[in-house]
Each structure stands twice: as C-alpha cells, then as structure tokens.
C-alpha cells in the first residue's frame, strides 16, 4: 500500500473514438490496479475520475467514494464517449471543477498534494500548453501517460517538471498493466518521514519524494518550517467575541465591557437591565444604558425637569381623536386628514373614496429585463396606490392586472377579486418576468382577452366605462400602432405611463384623446408616485349616453355634496323666513287690538 500520506488524485482518461473498446478495458484495469495499492479514505487518499473526448464527463469526484469497491464499480460502468480528443478542455475542467473544495479536494492550507494522471493515446485537438501551465501554477502535479499513438511533445507540454519523472510513453495498451507497477512506485516512493531525520517539532507528513512539518492544534509553523509557536487565537478575528477576546495557549475566552454580562453562548454580551431592579420611578418608560438608566416619555408627551414624570404635548396621542386615517395636532387642538384622493366627511373624522364613477380597469405593466427587480417592486406599489383611490366591489369598480415581457401573462382578471385588500395582496405577490418588451402583444392580449365578458368585463350595454392603463419603461420590440388603435376603437379609454427610457411617440400612440390628459412620464422609478394624481381614475359617466367623461378625482362626488349642502341651507333659510313672516303678522294683529282698546277708552 501507498502510505506516504494522503493525496488527492484525479484520473483524466482519454475515451476518444481512436481508443477501441478492448483498449479502453486495459485503461480501466490500469486505474483499478493503481487504486488497489492506495490507502483510500476521507482522511487518507481521495480519488476522482473524469473521461473526455470532444466533451468532459465527471465519472465520480473526490468526495463521492471512499472505498476501493465503490470506485471499481463506478470505473467498470464507464461508457466511452467515442468522439474527438479535447485534452486541453479536460485539463481546464480538472483545474476549475475537479480539484475544488466543493468537489472534495482538501483546502490548500492542508498541503495535501493534488495529482492529475492524464492517460491519452493521440494528439490533442486543442491547445494544452497554456492551460497545463495554469494548472501547474495552481498547485496541480501532472503526470502525462501516453499510449501507442500519443504525441510526445504534447505529453511534455502537459507534465510537471522534472519531465523524466512525470512523462511516460507506453508502446501498446497491452503493456499498460505492466507499467502500472512502475508508475505506482513513482507515485508513492518511500516514506521520507521514516527514511530521513525530518526535524519536525510536532508532526511530519510524507509526500511523494518529500515531506513537510505540521503543528498540533493551537500552534502555527514557524518560518524555519520545523518548529511551532502557540497561536494567538484572537488575532485571526474568527473568535466571535462580541466585546473582548482573551487569548490562552492554543485557545481563547470572551469577556464583556463594564455594564454587560457574558451570555450562555460564551461569545455575545447582554447589557445589564438596570430598569428591572424596580427602583427607577419613571412615570412612562425606563431605558437601560451601560452603567445606568434614564426615563423616557411615550410619543406625544414631554419629560419634566424631574427627569421622571411626563406631560402630554400632542393631543392626537393624548385623546381618543377617532380619525379614520390620520390626526394632525395643532396648538391646543387637532384635526383629521384623509389620504390623497379621499374627502373628509361631515363628521370630521371618516374618509370617503371616489365612488361616483364605477369602471372596469385593466392595468398592463412592463415586466421586461430593463425594469430590474427593485424597480418592479416600486411599480407594484404604484399600482396599489391607484387601487387605493377606487371603490372596488363586484357592482362597483373592477380591476384586472396583466404583465408582459417577451410574452404576456394575466396576473388576475376583472372578476377575480372583489375588494381592494384582495387586489393589493395579489399585486404584491406578482413575480417579475424579465426578458423582452412586447408592448404590442400585450395590447392585443388586453383587447382580445382582458376586456372580455369571460374574464369579468361587464357588457357594453351596461355603459360601464372600460379603462386600460399601460405602464412601460422602454421602446417596444414589436409594433403597437394597430392594437393601440383597435383598443380605442373598441371603446377602451387608454392611459399611458412612461418611466425612464420610455418613448414619448409610443406613449402618445397608446393614449386616448385628448392625448395630453391621457399620458404621463417620470424620469425615474423613485419619483413616479406623483403620477398617481395624474391618473386618478374616477370616471363619471353622463347619464343615458354611455360616454365617458374624465374629471378630477372626486369631482362628481364633490358636486353632488355641494348641491346637497346648498339645498339644505336654502331650505333652512326658507323655513326661517316663514316663521319670521308669521311672527310679524301676529305682532301687527296685537298692535291693531291695542289701538282699538285705546280708542274705546277715549
């Protein structure tokens, strides 16, 4: 057995069409003869096998098998590739894949020799000199074994120096098994740790034709390559101590700064909770700090000069204001406000959404590669801000969503969800498609499918406006003109939103008339939220005509509310005028009675 120390050995076997079947069988036996004399195991020698022709195939890697029986079964199951002879490609694979730690090679700092045994019978069809040099520079020792028709110059270009110990040429496949014994002796050699006075202070590790010294755990090898010194376990920064690392011979311990104690994991530190002692006297909150504590008031309160008690300053936090959306404090008072697109109701607390115009709205968003994942999340937030402005219900506004890139996908049709919360959740769950920008294909899909009654669009006879909003960040890779025209001809009111590199000419082609009211642009995804105001889709259909008039957000509701309030005020004034007239008549009658009484007395 080869007991000079662990090795990482990878056989690189030529299985090109020039290797006949019975010749390949001798190559199998060559590998198995060498493996049979190796001390294999996870902590001993590891073996991998790759074969190549016009391509490279991994038979098993250095981490796959650790017994000779398993290795022999895998070698016997190899089916030759029988194509060209790309030896340079095979060396590249061995360097970049086979000898990586992911495939089972031991890390370089363990100094386990990495040995590649290349067995070939012909001249390489690609360049080997440069890639072989790179492999040798990467620490791979290359043995080049040529059989019968092999090119000696190529063998010498691949092998490690000295060439007389790393280049072998066998006259025929029949002789390769006899050569295996000779090669085994060359590979293993003698145990240099036994044969020589190595001088290692701790451990000697033998390698083919040489040896090196290793230190026990907790020590490092000195520059003389033989003696060992204790390692400062804290110096490499891998100790994991949160505060201080204290080095001990070959080990370390962690310590904490004053005001902290060491946690159970012996690495992290936890601040002492001085508030838990129960003597802080804080009216609201106690906050622990290293070596002490301080008092803190809840939001809307101010800490008093005694540093313990609190007094309210923000009435919104000090009273039950009842605001549906947000309370705004003022000097000695407060008032309620609503989000953009919603109006404060007469009760001064609740908010109403724009509900006068119910529509079928389909948003078509660009999911091409140019949008990028982080910007696509902003697009979804943009969509949800529009949804916030709508009164979504089965009999009110319905919303559908389509995403496109090189293909088109309906994320959800008009009849899928019946509330704003359901739609917003579905929007945030949409996955980014990437790839191309086929805006014309997306418009075709919208016209033919999204606004069909099958997907939830209400019949045209119901006079429910159909709104299409197209969002894009670049030039379309297909023609948009035909389907943009068909969309508008079919009665769909089209809005176009462009960001970044969107083309204004295409946006105008998509948008309905008047164009200036139906398209908008933002130079950057992070600044496009202002576009929500421009595209507040509250549609107010004129009664009986089935036509759609685009108005400002909540304009219809505001007009109705104004009319209602005006009528109420006029009615109140009229009632007061009637009462005043009656009172005046009664007073006149009394005056007339008094005048009669005075006249009678005279």
At residue 2, the pLDDT reads 52
Candidate ranges 190-194, 218-222, 282-286, 568-572; pick with highest mean pLDDT: 282-286
Percentage with pLDDT > 70 across the chain: 82
CB-based contact 198:160 (threshold 8 Å): no
How high is the pLDDT of residue 537? 44
pLDDT in the model for residue 542: 37
> What is the Cα–Cα distance from 523 to 469, expressed in whole angstroms?
18
pLDDT of 106 over the 80 cut: yes
To which CATH superfamily is domain 360-539 assigned?
A: von Willebrand factor, type A domain (3.40.50.410)
Which of 96, 3, 101 is closest to 45 using CA atoms?
3
pLDDT at 90: 96
| Whole-angstrom distance, CA of residue 417 vs CA of residue 434 | 26
Mean pLDDT computed over 332-358: 71
Q: Could you tell me which of 411, 405, 434 has the C-alpha nearest to residue 423?
A: 411
* Per-residue pLDDT, 67: 94
Tens-place pLDDT, residues 467-493: 999 999 889 999 999 999 999 999 999
**595: its two tokens:** 């005048």
How many C-alpha atoms does 510 have within 13 Å on its Cβ side?
Answer: 33
pLDDT in tens, 252-275: 889 999 889 999 999 999 988 889
In the structure, what pLDDT confidence band is assigned to residue 181 with cuts at 50, 70 and 90?
low
pLDDT at 544: 31
Give whichever of 47-61, 147-161, 492-506 has the largest mean pLDDT.
47-61
DSSP H helices in 247-396: 315-318, 373-388
| CA atoms in the 13 A half-sphere facing the CB of 203 | 9
Element containing residue 138 per DSSP (H, E): none
* Model confidence pLDDT, tens digit, residues 118-148: 999 888 999 999 999 999 999 999 999 888 7
What is the tens place of the pLDDT at every residue in 420-457?
Answer: 999 999 999 999 998 899 999 999 999 999 999 999 99
CATH superfamily of 313-354: Laminin (2.10.25.10)
Backbone phi and psi for residue 157, each to the nearest 5 degrees, phi listed first: -70, -25
Determine the 3-state secondary structure of 531 from DSSP: helix
Instruction: Please state whether the predicted TM-score (pTM) of the whole model is above 0.85.
Output: no
Give the pLDDT of residue 206: 75
Range in 148-157, 291-300, 351-360, 550-559 with the lowest mean pLDDT:
550-559
Evaluate if residue 355 carries a pLDDT over 60: no
pLDDT at 532: 66
Among residues of the chain, what percentage have pLDDT more than 90? 42
Q: Return the pLDDT at 557.
A: 53
**C-alpha span between 499 and 368 (Å, rounded):** 13
Give 338's pLDDT tier (boundaries 50, 70, 90): confident
Predicted pLDDT of residue 578 = 60
pLDDT of residue 474: 86
> What average pLDDT does this structure show over 139-158?
90
Average pLDDT score, the chain? 83
Domain 360-539 in the same topology as domain 313-354:
no
315/428: higher pLDDT:
428
pLDDT over 70 at 188, yes or no: no
Cα–Cα distance measured from residue 336 to residue 347, given in angstroms and rounded to the nearest whole number: 10
Checking if the pLDDT of 560 tops 80, the result is no
Cβ–Cβ under 8 Å, residues 184 and 34: yes
User: Residue 243 burial by CB count (10 A; 0-12/13-18/19+): exposed, middle or buried?
Assistant: middle
- Rounded to whole angstroms, the Cα distance separating 378 from 400 reads 18
Task: Give 173's pLDDT tier (boundaries 50, 70, 90).
Answer: low
Q: Give me the residue spans of the domains in the chain.
A: 7-188, 313-354, 360-539, 555-585
Find the angle CA(347)-CA(352)-CA(358) to the nearest 5 degrees.
150
Predicted pLDDT at 178: 61
Instruction: Domain 7-188: give its CATH superfamily.
Output: von Willebrand factor, type A domain (3.40.50.410)
């Amino acid at each position: 057995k080869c007991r000079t120390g662990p090795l990482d050995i990878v056989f690189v076997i030529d299985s090109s069409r020039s290797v006949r079947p019975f010749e390949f069988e001798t190559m199998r036996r060559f590998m198995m003869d060498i493996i049979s004399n190796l001390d294999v195991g996870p902590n001993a020698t590891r073996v991998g096998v790759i074969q190549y022709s016009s391509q490279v195939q991994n038979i098993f890697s250095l981490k796959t098998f650790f017994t000779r029986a398993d290795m022999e079964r895998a070698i016997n199951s190899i089916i030759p590739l029988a194509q060209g002879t790309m030896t340079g490609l095979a060396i590249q694979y061995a360097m970049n894949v086979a000898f990586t730690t992911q495939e089972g090679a031991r890390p370089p700092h363990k100094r386990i020799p990495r040995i590649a045994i290349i067995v070939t019978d012909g001249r390489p069809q690609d360049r080997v000199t440069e890639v072989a040099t790179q492999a040798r520079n990467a620490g791979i020792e290359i043995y080049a074994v040529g059989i019968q028709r092999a090119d000696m110059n190529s063998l010498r270009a691949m092998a490690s120096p000295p060439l007389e110990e790393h280049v072998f040429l066998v006259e025929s496949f029949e002789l390769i098994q006899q050569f295996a014994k000779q090669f085994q002796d060359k590979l293993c050699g003698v145990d240099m740790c036994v044969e020589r006075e190595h001088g290692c202070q701790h451990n000697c590790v033998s390698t083919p034709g040489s040896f090196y010294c290793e230190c026990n755990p907790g020590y490092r090898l000195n520059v003389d390559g033989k003696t060992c010194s204790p390692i400062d376990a804290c110096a490499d920064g891998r100790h994991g101590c949160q505060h201080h690392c204290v080095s001990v011979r070959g080990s370390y311990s962690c310590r904490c700064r004053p005001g902290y104690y060491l946690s159970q994991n012996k690495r992290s530190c936890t601040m002492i909770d001085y508030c838990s002692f129960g003597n802080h006297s804080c009216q609201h909150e106690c906050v622990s700090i290293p070596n002490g504590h301080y008092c803190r008031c809840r939001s809307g309160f101010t800490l008093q000069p005694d540093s313990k008690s609190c007094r309210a300053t923000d009435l919104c936090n000090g009273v039950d204001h009842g605001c549906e959306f947000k309370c705004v404090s003022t000097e000695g008072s407060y008032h309620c406000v609503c989000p953009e697109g919603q109006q404060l109701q007469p009760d001064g607390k609740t908010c109403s959404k724009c509900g006068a115009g119910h529509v079928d709205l389909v948003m078509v968003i660009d999911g091409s590669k140019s949008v990028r994942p982080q910007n696509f999340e902003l697009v979804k937030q943009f969509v949800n801000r529009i949804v916030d402005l709508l009164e979504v219900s089965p009999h009110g506004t319905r919303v559908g969503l389509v995403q496109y890139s090189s293909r088109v996908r309906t994320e959800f049709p008009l009849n899928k969800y019946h509330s704003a919360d359901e739609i917003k959740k579905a929007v945030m769950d949409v996955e980014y498609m990437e790839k191309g920008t086929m805006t014309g294909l997306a418009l075709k899909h919208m016209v033919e499918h999204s606004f069909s009654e099958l997907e939830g669009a209400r019949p045209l006879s119901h006079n429910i406006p159909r709104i299409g909003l197209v969002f894009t960040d670049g030039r379309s890779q297909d023609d948009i003109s035909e389907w943009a025209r068909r969309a508008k001809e079919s009665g769909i009111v089209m809005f176009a939103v462009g960001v970044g590199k969107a083309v204004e000419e295409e946006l105008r082609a998509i948008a309905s008339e008047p164009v200036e009211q139906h398209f908008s642009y933002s130079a950057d995804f992070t600044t496009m939220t202002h576009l929500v105001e421009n595209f507040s889709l509250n549609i107010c259909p004129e009664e009986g005509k089935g036509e759609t008039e685009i108005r400002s957000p909540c304009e219809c509701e505001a007009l109705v509310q104004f009319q209602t309030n005006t009528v109420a005020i006029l009615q109140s004034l009229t009632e007061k005028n009637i009462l005043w007239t009656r009172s005046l008549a009664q007073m006149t009658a009394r005056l007339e009675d008094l005048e009669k009484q005075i006249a009678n007395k005279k």
